[in-house]
Chains A and B, each alone.
Chain A
Amino acid sequence: MTRVVDLQVSSRRTLNQALHDLPDQTNETHWTVRNPGGQHALAVGIDAPITVTIEGHAGYYCAGMNKHARIEIHGNAGVGVAENMMSGRVHVRGDASQAAGATAHGGLLIIDGNASARCGISMKGVRIVVKGSIGPMSAFMAQSGTLVALGDAGDALGDSIYEAHIYVRGRTGTLGADCCEKPMRAEHHAELRALLDEAGVDEDTRYFRRYGSARQLYNFHVDNAY
C-alpha cells in the first residue's frame, strides 16, 4: 500500500512519527513524500524495510541513521545525507552537499550527481557510489567501507584514513595525510564490480584507481607527525 504525505499539508514531525510508529509486519511499505521543500531531517531514524520516495529536494540529514529502508530522493540532498546509516539503501537522484554518508556503518548510498566536500567522512562500513565527482577532504578519517567516485576527487582525499577502500575513475587532487595509491588486485576488481553492479553502473573496473591507508600514522611516531 502506498501512503502519500504532502509536506505542504502535514508536518515533518507527523511524517517521521508515522514512519517510526510502523508495526513490524506493516503493509504500508511504500511512502511518497510530496513537496519536501528542502526541509531538514526528513525520513530520519527509520527502522523498517519500507520504501520512501521523496519527490523534490531535501535539506540536511535526510535519511539520517536509516535502518533497512530504501529511500530515494528525486532532487538534491543537503548536508549529511544518510549520515550514520546502519543498513538499507539511499539513492540521491541529484547532487549531494557536504558530508554525504558521514559516519555511516552500513547500507548503500548512491548519488547520481556530484557530492561536495567530506563525502564519506569518518565512514564506518557504508558503501558509497558517487556517479559524479567528490569534493575535497572526502573519506577523511574513513574507518571502513568503500567509497567510489566515477568522476574526480578533490584535494586531501582520504586524509587520516584507516581501513576504508577508495576507488576513483577520474583525476584526484592531492592525497591527504597517510593516504596513498594502492595496486588494484583481483579482489579489488571483484569488490568494485559487485558494488558497481549493485548501484546499476555499467563501467569497466579497469579505469579505476585505488587509494587507501599507508598505515604510517597507526602508531604515533614523531617522525610521521604532520
Chain B
Amino acid sequence: MGSRFSATFDQHALAEIRRAAATGIYDIRGAGAKRHLPHFDDLLFLGASISRYPLEGYRETCATDVWLGTRHASKPIHLKIPITIAGMSFGSLSAQAKEALGRGASIAGTSTTTGDGGMTPEERGHSSILVYQYLPSRYGMNPDDLRRADAIEIVVGQGAKPGGGGMLLGQKISDRVAEMRNLPKGIDQRSACRHPDWTGPDDLEIKIEELREITNYEKPIYVKIGATRPYYDVALAVKSGADVVVLDGMQGGTAATQDVFIEHVGIPILAAIRPAVQALQDLGQHRKIQLIVSGGIRNGADVAKALALGADAVSIGTAALVALGDNDPAYEAEYQALGATAGAYDDWQEGRDPAGITTQDPVLAARLDPVAGGRRLANYLSVLTLEAQTIARACGKSHLHNLEPEDLVALTIEAAAMARVPLAGTNWIPGANPIG
C-alpha cells in the first residue's frame, strides 16, 4: 500500500541519511540532546500529608542559599540561590551576551562562569561572582585572571560531549576571539579534548595543588565532568581534592558538536545524580563537597528535583540563553530564512543567530541589550527559585536543601531505577546494585 511510515526509519532518520549522502560530512550543531530521554518530568513530588507537615506558601521561611567550596578554600562562595550560570565561552557567545549573563546573575545573587576562550573584562566587570574555567585548551589562561576569579573550574568534560573537545568554526573566529585564543583568524578551531599537562587522578591531584598554591588556597576549586561513569568520576574528583563537583548530563547544551556525539554519548542527568551522591556519601563527603548538576534544567520543579536527589545546586546554560532571547518567535522570519524555525534553531556554530546571542557578528550582537537581557535573566532566575520554594514548602521544608529522595516518586520504571525512588503508588525501586 505504501502508506505506512517506519518507526525505525522515521522522518528524521531518513532526512539524516539524505543529508549525509548529499554533503559527505556529519552534522555539527549547538544545543543538547533533542531526543526523548528519561528526565525530571518523570518524577513527582508527594507533598505533605498526614504524616508530613507543610509550610505556608511564600510566608514561612524557605531558605535558598548555598555555600560552595567549604572543603578547602579559605574564601568559599556564598550564593543566594542554588542556581548558577554554566560556563559558556566568549567566542561561542557575543560579548553582550556574556555581559547580560553577568548582570542577570549578579542581580539574582548567583555566579556566572567563563568558558573556553578566557575571561573578558565585560564579564568580570558585570559578574559579582565569577568562576574561571581551566580547560584543556587553556585559551587565554592567565594567572592574573586566575587571581581575579572567585573560583576555578577544572573542566574535564561536558555532558553534551564527554570525551570531546570544543569546536569553534571559522566564521566565529573574529579578530578579538582569535587574539584571545592566540590563533589565526577564520580557522576552524578545535579545542583539545585532553588536558596537556596531566593525565589521570594522581596528576589531577597535583594540578589542583598547583592551582591552590598559585592562588594561596583562597579559591574553591570545582571539577566539571560529563555524566558517563558518575560514581567513579565523582569519587576520583574527591580523591583529587576538588571542593565542588559539577556534573553535566547529556541534555546539556553545547556551542558546537557533532550531532552523533550529542545524541549518543553520555547519560541523562536523571541517571547520574544518585550515583554521584552515592560516591560522596560513601566517602563521607556529601554536603561537604558540593555537587552542582546540569543538563536540561528548565523550571523550578527541575531545580527542586535535582536538589531532592542530593545535589547542592544546579547550573543552567540553554535556559539562560532562552531567557536572554534565544529562539524567540519574534525572529521567526529570520529563523525561516536560515532554514530553521523559532524553537528548533540550533546552528549556533554558524554565528548567524538572529537573536544576537551565539554570534560574533557586530550587527547581530548589537541586537541584544545587555541591561534588558540581564533583567530578563534575573526575572527568570527569580521564578525558578520561587517555584522550587513552592514545592519545598509543600513538602514541609524550610530550606531547599532539606528536600530529599523520600519526597519523590517516579512515573516510569526507568525513572524509578535511575533516580532510585519508588514507582508511583508502589514501593518498588527497580535495580539492586547500589553502585551506578
Contact = CB atoms under 8 A, between A and B. Distances in A.
Interface string A57-73: 00111001101000000
Interface string A147-160: 00000000000001
A60 B203 contact: yes
B282 interface: no
Contacts, number: 102
A219 B188 contact: yes
A167 interface: no
Contact of B210 (A41, A67, A162, A219): A41
Q: Is the interface of A mostly helix, strand, loop or mixed?
A: loop
B339 interface: no
B213 interface: yes
Interface in A77-109: 79-80, 83-84, 86, 98-99, 102-103, 105
B213 A13 contact: yes
B187 A84 contact: no
A35 B102 CA distance: 46
A143 B183 contact: yes
A44 B196 contact: no
B203 A79 contact: yes
The binding surface of chain B is classed by DSSP as loop
A79 B197 contact: yes
A123 to B, nearest CB: 9
Contacts of A98: 197
B209 interface: yes
Interface string B52-85: 0000000000000000000000000000000000
Contacts of B190: 160
A60 B182 contact: no
B197 A45 contact: no
Contacts of A80: 197-198
A61 B209 CA distance: 10
Contact of A122 (B25, B186, B192): B192
B46 interface: no
B412 to A, nearest CB: 40
A94 to B, nearest CB: 19
A53 interface: no
Interface in B198-238: 198, 203, 206-207, 209-210, 213-217
Nearest to B138: A103
Contacts of A61: 197, 206-207, 210
Contacts of B209: 40-41
Contacts of A103: 138, 141, 196-197
A141 B146 contact: no
A61 B141 CA distance: 15
Contacts of B198: 79-80
B170 interface: yes
Given A99-B196, A220-B188, 19 more contacts: A12-B213, A16-B214, A41-B214, A45-B146, A47-B143, A59-B206, A60-B206, A61-B207, A67-B143, A83-B197, A84-B143, A105-B141, A118-B196, A122-B138, A140-B196, A141-B192, A143-B181, A160-B190, A218-B187
| Shortest Cβ-Cβ A-B pairs, 9 listed | A45-B214, A80-B197, A99-B197, A65-B143, A103-B138, A41-B210, A218-B187, A102-B197, A61-B210
